[in-house]
């Protein structure tokens, strides 16, 4: 991947004859990977504003001690829905959108391997989330047991709407499994003949690994919620201690899904960053091989560390020690990635367009999140951090930078390629700075809150936590409202009048097959396989 690919469009191809259908049918029946990618991205964008608004409601309630706006029951619904929608409705669909758009372009394939399945895996999502969000309008409470929905709070004590939640999780799981299946099959079978494994862009590698993670753990989640359903309605006692069941089993099953899920959320982001940093450093990615190995190692280790979410559950010391050591070990491959990105930047020829700014923001904040992750891995300290705001700060640093920032960086990076429109650089930079400042003002003080003893998921708090909570709320509003700039940029690029022609390569330092195609990308591409240098 060191030199620009030499593929040019075949002048005899008939791509322009097979344009898309018009009207809503285009989107409903489409099997085109670009259309489906667009659908995924817009869906996730809408969901981001929904879940973001919920987070802002939470922050308003926490602006000062005493009741501000929400009663505790509604507060719990907001934290639960915020978490569920951000994980399953924003990050995962956005990553799937990037995969749909980019994997065929990057590997020189005409489309995904299973295009109709692809359509279905997207169109399951709006129904799943309609069902989930509809619970907010039902007469009883919506799911209010946190996004981790620990039994028996979600089974014996769960509200009636929990059944809707269970089925929507089933639908999301089916959607993810199908999407992952499609991605694996595409990468294995649809690569251009000259696209060797070790020439694959890192984005494709990381999505391949992610897809295997999805295939392995989404069925576990489905099993978990099915057991909940059985406990709630069919008199089983999987998680009910009174019936001989085991509430801890729930936590084991959930986190066996939940921990790899964390890597599902960030590994594709690592791939995006590994594309962006070399472009704007004008220098090939440092240590490509080690980056690939590190991704695989992170994924494998991700399967064997789930109990570090359960250190305070009374686990025996042997289990705690093993899970602590295994968890600490993840710092090694993650460190390799960070060091390689820094080495890529080192002695490059750097420019700071918006995608690069977001990539650098990711690099710094993700490292900070990694540090707090190392602290949380130590069992004795974890006794103090567990379920406090320290953990909230930790996973927001990791996920906001590792997922949200990388998605935004990727969108800015490939937007000119997708739409043929260059975004307004000044606005993009403003968006970056406001987002970064807002994000840090929101989540940095949460470290202090957690260390000072504030538990997470409480709707009201003792007086000594007031100052930091107020800073957090101010930051959250900066963070949230600056996304409106992003909305404007996206809408303008998608629907605005085209002002000037963007070159094929778009960015001076960009390499890879997608940059050999015209901007905007034609509806059909690579009907004949390109030759990879």
Alpha helices in 452-514 (DSSP H): 466-481, 483-495
337 part of the active site: yes
Which of positions 173-232 make contact with another protein (CB under 8 A)?
none
Backbone angles phi, psi at 237, to 5 degrees: -135, 50
Q: Go through 402-415 and write b for each residue having 16 or more CB atoms within 10 A of its CB, e for each that does not.
A: bbbbbbbbbbbbbb
Which residues in the 4-43 window bind another protein by CB under 8 A? none
Rule CB under 8 A: say whether 496 interacts with another protein: no
Distance of closest approach, residue 340 Cβ to another protein, in angstroms: 8
CA distance 14 to 12: 7
Distance CA 512, CA 437 (A): 33
Active site residue 147: yes
Smallest distance, another protein to C-beta of residue 457, A: 5
CB 192 within 8 A of CB 279: no
What distances in angstroms separate CA 122 from CA 33, 36, 126, 427, one per listed residue? 11, 7, 8, 31
- Beta carbon of residue 294, minimum distance to another protein (angstroms, whole number): 9
**Catalytic (active site) residue 423:** no
Cα–Cα distance measured from residue 452 to residue 403, given in angstroms and rounded to the nearest whole number: 28
Among 448, 477, 488, 523, binds another protein (CB under 8 A): 448
18 a catalytic residue: no
Catalytic member of 30, 80, 161, 176: 176
Known active-site residue 207: no
- Minimum CB separation from another protein for residue 326, in Å? 11
Which of 13, 194, 226, 381 lies at the binding interface for another protein (CB under 8 A)? 381
Residue of 34, 170, 259, 394 marked catalytic: 259
* Interface with another protein, residue 451, by CB under 8 A: yes
Alpha carbons 250 and 229: distance in angstroms, whole number:
13
Interface with another protein: number of residues (CB under 8 A): 107
**In the complex with another protein, which residue's Cβ is closer, 21 or 467?**
467
The Cα 389–Cα 454 span in angstroms is 6
Please calculate the CA angle 155-158-162 and round it to the nearest 5 degrees: 90
What is the Cα–Cα distance from 523 to 512, expressed in whole angstroms?
Answer: 19
Nearest by Cα to 489 from 440, 433, 401, 430: 430
Mark whether 139 is an active-site residue.
Answer: no
309 is catalytic: yes
- Which range binds another protein by CB under 8 A, 94-102, 261-269, 350-358, 405-413? 350-358
Q: Which of residues 267-306 bind another protein (CB under 8 A)?
A: 281-290
Q: Is there binding between residue 345 and another protein (CB under 8 A)? A: yes
**Does residue 481 interact with another protein by CB under 8 A?**
no
Site string for another protein, 137-156 (x = CB under 8 A): --xxx--xxx-x-x-xx--x
With contacts defined by CB under 8 A, name the span among 41-49, 52-60, 205-213, 359-367 that binds another protein. 359-367
CB 331 within 8 Å of CB 294 = no
Active site residues: 82, 111, 147, 175-176, 259, 261, 263, 274, 308-309, 334, 337, 456
């Amino acid at each position: 991947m060191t030199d620009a690919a030499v593929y040019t469009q075949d002048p005899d191809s008939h791509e322009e004859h097979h344009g898309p259908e018009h009207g809503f049918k285009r989107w409903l029946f489409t099997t085109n990977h670009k259309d489906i990618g667009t659908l995924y991205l817009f869906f996730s964008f809408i969901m981001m504003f929904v879940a973001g608004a919920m987070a802002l409601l939470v922050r308003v309630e926490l602006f000062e001690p005493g009741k501000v706006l929400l009663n505790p029951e509604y507060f719990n619904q907001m934290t639960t829905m915020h978490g569920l929608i951000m994980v399953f409705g924003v990050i995962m669909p956005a990553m799937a959108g990037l995969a749909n758009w980019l994997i065929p372009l990057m590997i020189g394939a005409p489309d995904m391997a299973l295009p109709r399945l692809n359509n279905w895996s997207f169109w399951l999502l709006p129904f799943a989330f309609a069902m989930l969000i509809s619970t907010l309008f039902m007469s009883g409470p919506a799911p209010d047991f946190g996004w981790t929905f620990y039994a028996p709070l979600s089974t014996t004590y769960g509200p009636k709407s929990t059944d809707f939640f269970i089925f929507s999780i089933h639908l999301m799981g089916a959607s993810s499994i199908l999407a992952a299946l499609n991605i694996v099959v595409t990468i294995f079978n649809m690569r251009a003949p000259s696209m060797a494994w070790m020439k694959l862009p890192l984005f494709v590698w990381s999505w391949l690994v992610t897809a295997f993670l999805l295939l392995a753990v989404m069925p576990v989640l489905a099993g978990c919620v099915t057991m909940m359903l059985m406990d709630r309605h069919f008199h089983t006692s999987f998680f009910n201690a009174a019936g001989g069941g085991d509430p801890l089993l729930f936590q084991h099953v959930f986190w066996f899904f939940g921990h790899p899920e964390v890597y599902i959320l960030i590994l594709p982001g690592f791939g995006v960053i590994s594309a962006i940093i070399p472009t704007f450093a004008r220098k090939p990615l440092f240590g490509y091989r080690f980056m690939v190995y590190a991704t695989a190692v992170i994924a494998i280790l991700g399967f064997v560390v789930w109990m570090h979410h359960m250190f305070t559950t009374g686990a025996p010391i042997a289990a705690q020690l093993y899970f602590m050591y295994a968890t600490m070990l993840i710092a090694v491959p993650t460190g390799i990635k960070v060091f390689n990105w820094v080495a890529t930047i080192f002695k490059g020829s750097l420019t700071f367009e918006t995608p690069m700014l977001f990539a650098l923001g990711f690099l710094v904040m993700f490292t900070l999140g990694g540090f707090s992750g190392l602290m949380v891995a130590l069992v004795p300290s974890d006794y103090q951090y567990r379920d406090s705001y320290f953990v909230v700060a930790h996973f927001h640093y990791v996920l906001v930078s590792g997922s949200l920032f990388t998605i935004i960086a990727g969108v800015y990076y490939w937007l000119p390629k997708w739409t043929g429109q260059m975004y307004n650089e000044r606005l993009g930079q403003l968006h970056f700075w406001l987002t970064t400042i807002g994000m840090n003002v929101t989540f940095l003080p949460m470290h202090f809150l957690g260390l000072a003893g504030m538990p997470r998921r409480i709707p009201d708090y003792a007086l000594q936590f007031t100052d930091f909570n107020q800073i957090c709320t101010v930051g959250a509003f900066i963070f949230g409202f600056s996304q409106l700039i992003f909305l404007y940029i996206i809408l303008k690029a998608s629907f605005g009048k085209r002002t000037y022609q963007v070159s094929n390569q778009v960015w001076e330092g960009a390499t890879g097959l997608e940059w050999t195609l015209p901007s905007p990308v034609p509806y059909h591409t690579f009907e004949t396989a390109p030759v990879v240098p």
